Amino acid sequence: MIAKRWTSLAGILALVLAAAVLGGCASTETKDTAVRDEHRRMMSLQKNAEAARTSSAPLKDLPEMDARALEQVGDNYVRQNNPSLAFVQYDKALAKDPKLESARYKRGMLLLSRGMNDEALKEFEDILSRSPKNALALEGRGRVHMAKNHFHAAMADFDSALAADPKLWQVHALRGYLHDQRKEHDRAIGEYEKAIGLQPESSLLFNNLGMSRYLKGDLKGAAEAYARAIQLDVNNRRAYNNLALVLYKLGHDDDALLAFKHGGDEAAAYNNMGCLYMADRKYEKARAAFEKAIGLRATYFARAQENLKKAESAITARPTVQ
């Protein structure tokens, strides 16, 4: 039962990182100053929580929580999307029981999600020094190597993690991401398909499968994957926008515009279409799209107006290419 709870929480913590790593756009690195500020904030929260515990009269009569109870409090904070307070509880749990591997893993994942790679690495290696085949710790260390752009070290840890636990779908997804970064799209597709075999209801995985197929040049296959991602999660805006791009490339402008609308709003959709037309030197269509964006939302005026000027300048400078 304890192992099952650990694995469940590991999935939640992994998804905190997956959104950044597998999304295909956002950087996983945090600026050094922000990292230091966050670390100080977490340490301050820890001190404040400890002061509150010792000074609060109603709590004096309550039995002191053991390490696992503190870990469970931290788990609840993770579910509530409050990683700073979760860190405090895991820290307290480890103060009581430094060998509590599940809490140490979770603390490592939280540190990693804040870009504190070296601190996270220490947590995972502490676990592996006692349990060298701990699949989650191997995955965690692989994530650190991945964040440091150490491809071969990351792959080696991911291989070991899968050997220890073949059901870690997140590891297949991470391997897929790494293969895409190296333009090894066939291998990436294979990894995403393995991940989907283990987690068939994941909209995120289908979105990333679509990205790999798109990068390979398989536009129809990409569209199918994005459509499945949307079917699984109608609020997956990234999948809508990715689908819109593919539909445009396939020559379905009206469908692309509709997908962009679902991925944002009408003004943003027209602005996006204008940008695509500009990239393809379809300047008349670009101008019409930017004018539509400006008319729909005043806050789009500055951005769309700048794009409109570029389109008009291009029209003046050269013949329209349709």
pLDDT band at 10 (very low <50, low <70, confident <90, very high): low
> Lowest-confidence range among 105-119, 267-281, 301-315?
301-315
Give the chain's largest Cα–Cα span.
83
Q: Are 204 and 18 in contact (CB under 8 A)?
A: yes
Confidence (pLDDT) at 297:
79
For the segment 123-144, the average pLDDT, to the nearest whole number, is 98
Cα separation, 89 vs 73, whole angstroms: 7
Delineate the domains of the chain, giving CATH numbers in brackets: 2-166 (1.25.40.10)
Q: Which pTM was predicted?
A: 0.75
Q: Which residue has the higher pLDDT, 40 or 64?
A: 64
Tokens of 46: 């820890």
The contacts of residue 254 (CB under 8 Å, 6+ apart) are: none
DSSP state of 97: -
Environment class of 303 (CB within 10 Å of its CB; exposed 0-12, middle 13-18, buried 19+): middle
